[in-house]
Structure 1
Amino acid sequence: MSLTNRKKQFLEKLMELYENSDLPVHYETLAKAIGVSKWTAYDMLKQLEKMSLLKKEYVVNNSDTGRSQIVYSPSEKAYNIFNSSSDENITVAEWEHVKQELIEMLVSLKKQKNPNVVSQRLLDNISKVNNKLILCANVITLLITYLKLSNDSKIPNIIHLFNLVHENNTKLAVFTGTVVGMFLTETNIIGIEVMSLASEHINIFGRLSIEEQTKITSFLMDALAL
């Protein structure tokens, strides 16, 4: 069983919750933090436990006398993964290739008989990529894809809002949050799973280096201008 990007996001969020509270984490707490159902969170935690990345224990639920609940804490193996340099570095040439490929996907939307082919390809990329910069670029491209399929007229307003913010990290979070917010009542256009996916990745922008934030912000502006 491999540590996919989605599993990694759940593990990282649980580690964050654990470190902030110094207490094992219940799956409902994790579900609320990520924005998924409690059953989705529980299933993911069971998979991570099987990979020896989490330790399970039973504690008494103070609000429900006599009953216990399952909680999880990160294992030493989990910390070793995040302490090692697991993020694949890419060269300038590789980054330029990724950008060109994603831009071509957006351009192809006008010619595609089935635009869902593009969004599915991006979702596949997101599930496999191990580099934060490339991951962010794919998430951004996915959101722009849904914007273009919905209504291009919304893009100028987003660009205007985007330009009012000065810090790159904030610009990226504002863009993602704005687009997801636009589609909260339009789940026929952007599925709940995709909204959840985008919401999960907002915090990744803050973990990019200053150089990476500059690169991804520049890519975002180029993609919006198409």
Structure 2
Amino acid sequence: MKLTRRQETFIHRLLDLYRELDGPIHYSLLAERVGVSPFTAYDMLRLLEEKGLVTSEYRLDSDKPVVGRSEVVFRPTERTRQLFIELAGDADQGNWENVKSQILEKIREGGLHDDVLAEEIFARVPLDVPDVLRYCIEVMTIVILRLGKGAGRQVLAEHLPQIIEWKGTVTRSGLMLLGGFTLGLLANESNSDVEWNKLFLEHIRRYQSLVMDMEPRLCRRLGDSMKDVFAPIFKA
């Protein structure tokens, strides 16, 4: 099915909200998440419903002053879930889980030669964040561990405060720059693994795509989480 980039964005946000709230979503909430007017969100949801990607239903709203008044809410269909697998890269989510498993195995075997730092960084990855933020944090976490204790780690520690505005508000551009900067560091490592770098290129591109589509509030939350997760490299 051919969708516009804007339609893809609405689908992504709807699925995020559906997972977070575990239930149907009112269009005004989706509008807030995407950053558009409620009218725009409603029209888009009706369009996606025509495509078979969204289904609507009515529920009683206890917050309304008129008792028994109903409101329309929306939920993604199974077809949407399958489409999201294609659009958002969940098709390679199993691949990403394999990457994490290999990294954790190396940590247990001492293969990263930095077990203490690895454990501390992974312990700092927050549990109470949406899947999209967790993925972005984990990608950058793995990159740091891949850098080992070499010059790349030192360069990152030196420039990280400027890249993500350590003492200020983290911006979308800073988070985007972080992806490209860390990938460049990996490529310059003397013991660089070509296959690993190729794999990380795919995930860093996805990271940058997700950051590009994030609303400002989520960007700030991601940036704050990054600061906490990355703090140990300044002591390493």
| TM bracket, shorter-chain basis | 0.3 to 0.5
**TM-score by structure 2 length?**
0.40
Q: Using structure 1 for the length normalisation, give the TM-score.
A: 0.41
Q: Which has the larger radius of gyration?
A: 2
